[in-house]
Structure 1
Amino acid sequence: MAYRNGTYVAFHANGTNIPGKSDIDYYNLMRAWSANPNDDFTLINSHEKVAAVRDSSAKETLRRSLHERLKNSKNMVLIIGKTTKYDTDWVPFEIERAVDTYQIPIIAAYVDTEKPIRNANAWSAYWPAALAKRINDGTANVIHMPFRKAAILDAIGQFSHYKLPVGGGLGCYSDQAYKNLGIDG
């Protein structure tokens, strides 16, 4: 049995790793937070728990590696920006496996707002089809929030395959929870 203590981070790479051109910037920001010894943000990154696979690797080799990473994860942070819904390759695959195979909750972190998210449905235009389908059919457990360090850190520490967010696929933090995290709005 896998030791499921990692956080799997999914994002739309938009076919590039050039800074400023995709949501990989937000993933790298999370890694920087975690690497900073003066920061309390800690990420047990599932991508670092399994041997790296180069972009030129065969698709099936990459799929096997992603499966292994997801199998070792307690939750998934899905970084959602304006282009995430257009990903037709890896993000849908990652969402499908996270929900259908490994039953891990998704922490949906939206990069286009710093304000509290109180109504997840208001962000449905951003959802990839794989996420929308699983929210609508009731199989996904999702907590929706702005891409803010305090909220992401709290969710990573709080939610896992053993402790799912309240609200099924439409979970949101309460006003009091946002206030406790220092997020106004």
Structure 2
Amino acid sequence: MANRTGTYFAFDGLGEADPTKSDFRYYATAQGWSAADHIDFKFVNSHDKASSVRDTSKLSTLQASIRQRLAGSKNMVVIISNDTRKSGSLLSWEIEQAVDYYEIPLIIAYAGRNTVLDPLLLSNFWPTSLRMRIDNDSAQAIHIPFKKDAMLDAIRRFSVNGEKLKGSKIFYTREAHVHWGYIS
């Protein structure tokens, strides 16, 4: 396998040509955090490690590029929103590839949530491919709110090269959420 240093971001494009109308906006937020000099949020973006393709590319071309990016990824942030579809998006295929073939730990980041203290309470938002891998425990996953400090901590800690996740329903403690200022 390639040098696995990148973080792969996966999200549902919701079939939208306008990225501001899809979950792409959350990925763009993480890119903004990383680009800002005054914010401690740096990561190696797997999307920068392979040739880019347009949304109009053939599916086979797009999938080949995604496989190349996944091969160089140490972890995957899966962005889940209220709009994420259960099936029918490339997100489902990306999750299958990450877990089944590349054995990449998942950082499941829930947009619009201040806390994630029981992942099962959010299971109705999971795409079917994710639900199957959580239910059969084949995914190694931590569930977090889509918040900068939680995401950075998870990206730094949980990877194919780092600390291992021992299960598919892992989450940070209430104390960690308090420490980050998400709850009091």
TM-score range, shorter-chain basis? over 0.9
- 1:108 and 1:142 in contact (8 A); partners too: yes
Matched residue type, 1:149: K
Q: Give a deviation string over 1:130-173, Cα, whole Å, max 9, x none.
A: 0000001110011111110110010000100142224x110000
- 1:134 and 1:140 in contact (8 A); partners too: yes
Matched residue type, 1:143: I
How far does residue 113 in structure 1 lie from its aligned partner after superposition? 1.2
Matched, 1:2 2:2: yes
Matched residue type, 1:46: S
3-state DSSP of counterpart to 2:63: helix
2:33 aligned residue: 33
Matched residue type, 2:10: A
1:48 aligned residue: 48
Unpaired segments of 5 or more residues in structure 2? Answer: none
Aligned counterparts of 2:66 and 2:85: Cα–Cα separation in 1: 20
3-state DSSP of counterpart to 2:12: coil
- 1:16 and 1:22 in contact (8 A); partners too: yes
1:124 aligned residue: 123
Matched residue type, 1:133: M
Structure 1 residues 32 and 17 mapped into 2: Cα distance closer, same or farther (>3 Å)? Answer: farther
How far does residue 57 in structure 1 lie from its aligned partner after superposition? 1.3
Unpaired segments of 5 or more residues in structure 1? Answer: none
Give the structure-2-normalised TM-score: 0.94
Matched, 1:179 2:178: yes
Give the structure-1-normalised TM-score: 0.94
How far does residue 60 in structure 1 lie from its aligned partner after superposition? 0.6
Q: May I ask how many residue pairs the two structures share in their alignment?
A: 183
Identity %: 42
Q: CA RMSD in A?
A: 1.4
